[in-house]
Amino acid sequence: MTLGNLGHLLVIFSFVTSLVATYAYLRATLLSTDNLQVETWKRFARGAFYIHVAAVVGVCATLYVIIYGHHFEYHYAWSHSSRALPWYYMLSCFWEGQEGSFMLWMFWQAVLGVILIRTNKLWEAPMMTVYALVQAFLTSMILGVIIPGLDFKIGSTPFLTIAEANPGAPFLQLNPDFVPKDGNGLNPLLQNYWMVIHPPTLFLGFALTLVPFAYLMAGLWRKQVVEWLRPALPWTLLTGVILGVGILMGGYWAYETLSFNSYWSWDPVENAVYVPWLIVIAALHTMIIAKKNATALKTSVILVIAQFILILYSTFLTRSGILGNASVHSFTDLGLSGQLLLYLFAFIIVATILTVRVWKLMPSDKDEVSTYSREFWLFMGATVLCLASFQVIIPTSIPVWNSIVQAFGGVSKLAPPTDAISYYTKFQLWFFAVITILSGIGQYFWWKRVQKGKMQDLLTPVWISLFISALLITFGGINKLPYIALLTAAVFALVSNTTIIIGVLRGSYRVSGGSITHIGVALMLIGILWSSGYQKVVSLNASGLLISKDDYFTKEDNKENKENVLLWLGQPTRMGDYLLTYRGPRIEIRDVPEFVPNTWVDVIEGDFHAVCLRDITIGEKTYHKKGDTVAVYAENAHYEVEYREPNGRIATLYPRVQFNEKMGLVTSPDIKRELNKDLYSYVTVGSDPKKAEEWSPTENFRVAMQDTFFVNDFVAVLESVGRTDKVEGIALTPNDVAVKAQIKILDKEREYFITPTFAINQDRMVMRKPEVNEDLGLRVQFMEIDPKTGTFSFAVNSKQRDYIVMKAVEKPLINVLWIGTIVLIIGFMMSTIRRFREFRLVRDKGVELEKV
């Protein structure tokens, strides 16, 4: 049996066992009066689900073996991997394609299912009925089965061979057993360590949204309209932290890898994940107060359903192809649009029926909620979070609306915002200003129970916040009203929540998770405000010359021509407070800790190896000897740029470029990190070091000692010619004669010396060793000596001098953003651990089904 057949068989087996588990759990739920039969069906259901989990693990392992083993006869391995990639990027290859990312999602849901079965027996049958059914739908996405007679395909399998994926292709008719020697490789933008950990974290967040949804469905099914909150709350917290961390990892990946100067671009796919997270956070706050507020309970039901449905909706947006060119993150359509819609609407219908069925059974509030109650302020915060999510999801869904209108024969002229960053930011900024204010007020009402007419406790943090904000606005140069509002709100949240921790909780860390989380949000907003609102381009073009006439540089009144700097190899160039020197292209040898000059190795075309042209020595350690064959990352070019500060301190950056046949110039930044700012630098134009050098026609010169001559617009002087005992690359014998010329080349900024050699061996054969100066783009060869006239002949070739065009941006106080994310995660985890401990205590006491 081939690996592909094994993988496909395991997929079918996992699908069948998920259906069997669903049916068995359904029977166990319906037979609630017969304990013996219930336990029998539950044991059978557990066994089926455990077998399903084993099959899912087998499916994932089989695909990874195909990728890691370079089985390029399989279309998935050929499409997403190559021999050049290290093992950890092979993991990224696994989930680069749609099928692999579905499998990652399946894997996490399978693991979580096992945990749920083993930790909550009381809710197992109804909850796992819903859970296993969702898993069956998800597994169907990679079935790749065609229903006979209907010509209808269910799912897309990653286990097709190239021949099966391309039936009738001309190249297969010539050679049916054709197997490529190498694959297409991983998208260069995904060749980053964040892409090894970001997708697993994000899809774990996706999987976790199912857990509170399944508990809710089980509660509505059994008419336990309040009891479901207790087991669902800690899982909702965990969903919030994991999904949030996944989103933050994606933002940091974008910051480190992409060249749009930011960590968030309001791309439709980013929005489609951001919105469910906002709803999760809103649901979390309403669930906390649902036991005392019927409106919050009903809102919690709606929001818990919405967060799961929105994850399914985001999956449809990402994978259906409906976004077209509106997103750089979306997958191509694999023909699964109909199946994705079925998945989405099936659970909308199920959730709606169960909710309507028990809506009248939910309690109602007898009295209006007081504005001085903590429930009111938490509910207000949840409401604003929902409004913020609506503002994002509605414009993001314009392509969906257009498709619906067109499907009914109409014409829709709606279009997504052209400047997404400005459009979304101007609204979200105000929403989060309100949210941060509410987070401060809400904590005071929650812990201090502020009473009507006794607001003095709240006035102290207000006055402190206004004073600190005034100082920051004055000395920080904040002059835009939205920024002033956001800064003041963030400072208030920071001060009020810190006051709560110090004055009320008195260091009781177990219950301070909420306040710490809110402090993290406030710090993040301050960091976002400064790093995005007051970032400064420092690579201003002071030459007065156009760098390029390309559209990228000339649009918006030559914006990029004004904001990029041209760096010639070896020529220092002033850029703001820095003196920059471009030192040349560098290559990465896999087992060498630093980049090395490209001239140190000779890359073997298409083999991802190179031959060392000299000893590879870093510091005092020699890693390879001349002539050794080494493994290299040949597809990447790193450009060494030296930054010299006024105080003499030197920092070296290596912005990366990949000259990709499909994507063109793919550039990634390098970042000089300081305590109060980042210097974010990336190459916009670079010479491809893999291209063959194009030398000009030879120009011959005959000169005498101390003669001056002109070489490619440079002034040259022959300073000396003398005998030498060593010529690099030529083994001299005692009977050989070699001489070396020293030619001084005068550039604008400095002097260069070129030393070509001329040798005659004992057999009177002439040997010439040309000298190449990359800084000047010159190659000089010592041709002959005329003793009669005392002149010397040189052959000179020139080429385009190596250069790069680079953009650099200063991002002030961006570390405040990263510190805020860490504080946010710590606070979230503290709250999550606390809620899981509380649930475990209640479960162990046997009162889990009592009303919370």
Tokens of 57: 């693990």
Alpha-carbon span 728 to 730, nearest angstrom: 6
What pLDDT sits at residue 477?
85
Half-sphere exposure of 518 (CA within 13 A, CB side): 31
Burial class (CB in 10 A: 0-12, 13-18, 19+), 671: middle
Alpha-carbon span 608 to 101, nearest angstrom: 28
Alpha-carbon span 42 to 121, nearest angstrom: 10
What pLDDT sits at residue 852?
45
At 243, which helix (H) or strand (E)? Answer: helix 229-257
What pLDDT sits at residue 810?
92
Half-sphere exposure of 582 (CA within 13 A, CB side): 27
Alpha-carbon span 247 to 263, nearest angstrom: 10
What pLDDT sits at residue 453?
57
Tell me which amino acid residue 47 is. G
Location of structure tokens 């010592």: 782
Q: Is 642 left (phi over 0), alpha (psi -120 to 50) or beta?
A: beta
Location of structure tokens 């290559």: 587
What values do phi and psi take at 395, rounded to 5? -65, -35
What values do phi and psi take at 776, rounded to 5? -95, -15
Q: Residue length, the chain?
A: 852
Location of structure tokens 């269910």: 154
Q: At what angle do helices 420-448 and 481-499 cross, to 10 degrees?
A: 30
Burial class (CB in 10 A: 0-12, 13-18, 19+), 508: exposed
Answer whether 376's CB lies under 8 Å from 450's CB: no
Task: Give the three-class secondary structure for 167.
Answer: coil
What pLDDT sits at residue 46?
94
Answer whether 306's CB lies under 8 Å from 355's CB: no
Location of structure tokens 């796992």: 128
**Among candidates 270, 248, 252, 276, which has minimal Cα distance to 318?**
270
At 129, which helix (H) or strand (E)? Answer: helix 124-140
Strands 677-686 and 650-653, bridge-based pairing: unpaired
Tokens of 679: 């210097």
What pLDDT sits at residue 149?
66
Answer whether 564's CB lies under 8 Å from 550's CB: no
> Considering Cα of 336, then 338, then 344, then 346, what sign does the dihedral take?
negative
Q: Is 586 left (phi over 0), alpha (psi -120 to 50) or beta?
A: beta
Task: Give the three-class secondary structure for 650.
Answer: strand
Alpha-carbon span 568 to 685, nearest angstrom: 12
What pLDDT sits at residue 795?
93
CA distances from 58 to 105, 154, 229 (A): 14, 20, 35
Q: Residues 6 or more apart from 549 whose CB is under 8 A from it?
A: none
Alpha-carbon span 402 to 289, nearest angstrom: 39
- CA–CA–CA angle 849, 232, 125 (5° rounding): 60
Tokens of 786: 């005329």
Alpha-carbon span 686 to 297, nearest angstrom: 59
Quote the distance between the C-alpha of residue 725 and its chain's center.
56
Alpha-carbon span 704 to 724, nearest angstrom: 19
What pLDDT sits at residue 326?
55
Residues of the chain with pLDDT under 70: 32-34, 149-151, 169, 171-173, 324-335, 367-369, 448-455, 504-507, 606-607, 662-663, 846-852
Report H helices in 477-549. 481-499, 513-533
Alpha-carbon span 143 to 152, nearest angstrom: 12
> Considering Cα of 193, then 197, then 200, then 201, what sign does the dihedral take?
negative
